[in-house]
Amino acid sequence: MMKKAILSVVLVALLVASLVMLSCKHLGMKASQAKELQPCQVAVPIVETIYAGKECVCFSPVFELYNPNEQGIFLSKFTYELDVGDFYFSGQQVPVSLYIPPKGKASFVGALPAAWVGMSLWLMQVKGVSMAQAMKEVVSLWKAWGAKLFNPKLKEAWKKAKAHSPDFVFYGECEISADGVSTRHTYKVTYAVQ
């Protein structure tokens, strides 16, 4: 009888140990999968001009994210900023809750205003030029974006200016999560202006 009791205790202990080891292995696999999350691939397939007036131009970039992972992920934060040639435009932090399936895509739309006054002041600070010179440097870009002449004193410069816009360079940070683990990564993507 004593041998049966000892054997039963040993079998139960082995069974419990096996279950603990299996669950630890399973948890370890899940943790290693989450730690090895690959970053999303970010693309900007289109940037639409949603408003072009005298004072400002508003752009609407479409951000497309591809999940290269074997598991679904959640995008919880997304930030973006924009450089266009000599100009910097502060973007936004978008509080999103977007599920991206394994090897799948998801997209959303952003918005970004550009004001000629801010652009001129930016050039004054960065290049150390006068406001008059800075406004003249904004003209070719403003014309390329389909906006209207913002200052009647620049009518002659407007006529002479050739419309030209450098490519849009978006950059920022994504925060993704899966299985309770979050990771952040930066991105940089160029949209070729046509």
Maximum separation of any 2 CA atoms in the chain, in Å: 109
In sequence order, the 6+-apart residues with CB closer than 8 A to the CB of 40 are: 65, 66, 67, 68, 73, 75, 100, 174, 176, 185, 187
> Mean pLDDT across the stretch 52-76?
95
Query: Each residue of 92-106: pLDDT tens digit?
Result: 888 788 999 999 999
Domain 41-115+162-191: CATH class, spelled out: mainly beta
The pTM of the full predicted model, rounded to 2 decimals, is 0.78
Query: Each residue of 106-150: pLDDT tens digit?
Result: 999 999 999 999 999 999 999 999 999 999 999 999 999 999 999
Structural domain boundaries in the chain: 41-115+162-191
> Mean pLDDT across the stretch 167-188?
94
